[in-house]
Amino acid sequence: MTVVGRSETAAGDRAARIREAFRIEYWTIAWMVIEAAVAIASAVEAHSLALLAFGIDSVIELASACVLVWRLTVELRRGQLFAEHAERKAARIGGALLFALALYIVAAAGWKLWAREGAEFSPTGLAVSVLAMPIMYLLSRRKLRLAEALGSRALRADAVESITCGWLSLVVVAGLLAQLIVGAWWVDAVTSLAIVWFLLREGKEAWEGGECCERH
């Protein structure tokens, strides 16, 4: 096979993987819309800060998935370097939003603990949190394989966000079950503070990911 032929084959393989990445991101967007809507609605009904944090984080991850779809589209049309430059700015915005959400949760949880305000148990919130764990696991595994095949930092970062979402949903499930079993007023506020660690880690990775790209 000639050099031109191998180059065309490699380009065709990359295009096929990018199309698969599109499908994975569309599945991610579809689930995040459901997850965010159900979690936020359940949070409002149950006055749950933990569920609200989970729902808002889902909205941010939904935006991240939309940015990645846009980034892949730009790569197909204008090339990989242009797409990475645009992606760095989007990553910084996402990281800033996650930091802001973490600060809000700390302030709101502090107020709830000081005022001794509790939350009601939410069966719907528990259901969506339980479903999120296997869904995020399957999506993240596929994203990691595609990220390695494409050499894409953006897709790998998105996979890490999916992994974080899976762990975050586990924390929410543990908090809701503890709330159901123990029935203590402080469980929701303490659970929401546990979520802050995940948000800070995810925000740090998004922010430093942009710096890493800029150095290269």
Q: Model confidence over 112-122: pLDDT tens digits?
A: 889 888 888 89
Residue 80 has pLDDT above 70, yes or no: no
Rounded Cα distance between 74 and 58, Å, is 24
Residue 203 has pLDDT above 80, yes or no: yes
> Residue 84's pLDDT is what?
67
Domain that includes residue 54, residue range: 3-215
Mean pLDDT of the chain: 82
pLDDT digits (tens, 9 = 90+) for 92-130: 777 788 888 889 989 989 988 898 888 888 999 999 999
Domain count, the chain: 1
pLDDT band at 12 (very low <50, low <70, confident <90, very high): low
Buried b (16+ CB within 10 A) or exposed e, 156-190: bbbbbbbbbbbbbbbbbbebbeebeeeeeebbbbb
pLDDT digits (tens, 9 = 90+) for 48-65: 999 998 999 899 889 888
CATH code: domain of residue 160: 1.20.1510
Cα angle 80-203-213, degrees, rounded to a multiple of 5: 30
pLDDT band at 9 (very low <50, low <70, confident <90, very high): low
